[in-house]
Amino acid sequence: MSDLVERLREVVGAAFVLTDPDLRAGYETDWTGRFTGAARCVVRPADTAEVAAVVRACAEAGVPLTVQGGNTGLVGGGVPAGTGDVLLSLTRLTALDDVDPVEAQVTAGAGVTLERLQAHARAAGLDFGVDLAARSAATIGGMVATNAGGIRVLRYGSMREQLTGIEAVLPDGSVVSRLAGLAKDNTGYDLTHLLTGSEGTLAVITRVRVRLVPLPPARAVALVAVDGTEGALSLLAAARSRLAALAALELFYADGLALVRAHGNLSAPFAQEYPVYVVVEAAGATDPTDDLLELLSDCDAVQDATVASDAAGRARLWAYRETHTEAINAAGVPTKLDVCVPLRELPGLVEALPAAVAAAAPEARTIVFGHLGEGNLHVNVLGAGDRAEEVTDAVLKLVADRRGSISSEHGVGRAKARWLGLSRAPQEIAAMRAIKGALDPAGLLNPGVLFP
């Protein structure tokens, strides 16, 4: 055991192999505080060559690796399950190339944060198509590994849609690198997209090449009150057909708003309370405010609305939606379920959730919010205590009954591995296991993640 640690010190430098429990602690517990495990050490390589040497050393020693980016994943995929793994943190892989304005692409190290990539793209007059609340800490490598979604999927798609290439270290320490960013490349299996969403089980992503999108100069945001989930869907349908500049459409409920307001000391958005709220953002070459206002005045489902076009006003309205995660965490350790169903099933699911959760954990309280465009609900259950597994089982079965996915954007991780069979057929799981076995026959990368 100490031989391996010694060898890792030689590879990355002694300062970047953390064995002291106090130094390891921040890496060993996930952002929610729900998932925790002990690593034999945390190793922090600086580049692809060092990652490859670390992986080779662990492979030779037969020691499993847990791979971690910004540690903002919410399904326990980036923290060790037990003891003894090497925790491979990629936050030092921060190289960021110049933006290529002709291809509208850029190559980023796995440890570059989303916020830094966004600022880099914007300085070149472009933007990155994915955005999410954890932008200051979430890393691009982790976001690719989990195929992160966020608030702009309805306009630009998830991480998968942004990728034109990838560099990764395979479990034997060899490096695959496809970073030319070719717009067309039909030369066999698509490794870039195979590794996207593989949750660190097939390879360690070290660099990625992503496409960038035009930076819309004008934006407007509306916070809209509607009378129910059906009303929110009517607003979505209207926005999809009439608002060409539609950039985001997000959902939350009265109880989530109350929690967020208390946590952030935020004023009430409207003089009275409503059951359901939708944030609509429009972005375009010209000011979309009038189009947004017209949409809202024509949509029968709208009960009340407030619109902001300036940056401070837009941020103020977004805060009601974006601070849900931190407000919930401040109230306790949540059981988080990140699910999606076909949109027609969404109102029925929302209605069925409270009774299903109450049957599993009578004392629990459920806060629901999410990305309406994709039918993606974040079901956060507070106070489940030792009934978290029962709550998970009840909610995921409701979702499966409605032909939904048990993991819409956060990944399966450790949290939902047991339930993979609710969303994937036995033949699919067998095919996935065959791929895992071919690339990682010794099961070194992220054991316990994804597969039951």
Binding region for ligand 2HG (CB under 6 A): 74, 133, 325, 336, 378, 380
Both tokens of 65, joined, read 């690796």
> What distance in Å separates the CA atoms of residue 162 and residue 406, rounded to the nearest whole number?
23
Closest CA to 181 of 165, 205, 161, 162: 165
Both tokens of 372, joined, read 């309406």
Instruction: Give the per-residue SS3 of 377-402.
Output: EEEEEECCHHHHHHHHHHHHHHHHHC
Query: Rounded to the nearest 5°, which phi and psi values hold at 334?
Result: -85, 155
Q: How would you list the strands of the sheet with 175-178, edge to edge?
A: 105-109, 204-211, 163-169, 175-178
**Closer to ligand 2HG at the Cβ: 220 or 340?**
340
**Closer to ligand 2HG at the Cβ: 192 or 407?**
407
Question: Are the beta carbons of 151 and 250 closer than 8 angstroms?
Answer: yes
Question: Are the beta carbons of 6 and 54 closer than 8 angstroms?
Answer: no
Residue type, 85: D
Question: Minimum CB separation from ligand 2HG for residue 370, in Å?
Answer: 6
Q: Given phi > 0 = left and psi -120 to 50 = alpha, else beta, which region is 197?
A: left
**Closer to ligand 2HG at the Cβ: 74 or 117?**
74
Question: Minimum CB separation from ligand 2HG for residue 124, in Å?
Answer: 27
**Closer to ligand 2HG at the Cβ: 314 or 378?**
378
Question: Minimum CB separation from ligand 2HG for residue 148, in Å?
Answer: 8
**Closer to ligand 2HG at the Cβ: 74 or 445?**
74
Partners of residue 335 on adjacent β-strands: 381
Query: Rounded to the nearest 5°, which phi and psi values hold at 96?
Result: -135, 115
Both tokens of 192, joined, read 């870039």
Question: Minimum CB separation from ligand 2HG for residue 57, in Å?
Answer: 35
Question: Minimum CB separation from ligand 2HG for residue 130, in Å?
Answer: 12
Both tokens of 9, joined, read 């010190």
Cα 312 to chain centroid distance, Å, stands at 25
**Closer to ligand 2HG at the Cβ: 279 or 282?**
279
**Closer to ligand 2HG at the Cβ: 133 or 422?**
133
**Closer to ligand 2HG at the Cβ: 248 or 308?**
248
Other C-beta atoms closer than 10 Å to the C-beta of 376 total 24
Question: Minimum CB separation from ligand 2HG for residue 292, in Å?
Answer: 22
**Closer to ligand 2HG at the Cβ: 16 or 320?**
320
> What distance in Å separates the CA atoms of residue 322 and residue 324, rounded to the nearest whole number?
6
**Closer to ligand 2HG at the Cβ: 314 or 336?**
336
Question: Minimum CB separation from ligand 2HG for residue 327, in Å?
Answer: 10
> What distance in Å separates the CA atoms of residue 90 and residue 256, rounded to the nearest whole number?
34
Please enumerate in sequence order all residues whose Cβ is within 8 A of that of 171, keeping only pairs 6 or more positions apart, or say none.
Answer: 55, 59, 202, 203, 439, 440, 442, 444, 445
> What distance in Å separates the CA atoms of residue 169 and residue 376, rounded to the nearest whole number?
32
Question: Minimum CB separation from ligand 2HG for residue 408, in Å?
Answer: 9
**Closer to ligand 2HG at the Cβ: 72 or 206?**
72
Question: Minimum CB separation from ligand 2HG for residue 435, in Å?
Answer: 27
**Distance linking the first and last C-alpha atoms of the chain:** 28
Question: Minimum CB separation from ligand 2HG for residue 244, in Å?
Answer: 24
Q: What is the DSSP letter of 445?
A: B
Cα separations (Å) of 348 from 163, 228, 230, 354?
Answer: 35, 11, 10, 11
Other C-beta atoms closer than 10 Å to the C-beta of 297 total 9
Question: Minimum CB separation from ligand 2HG for residue 14, in Å?
Answer: 36
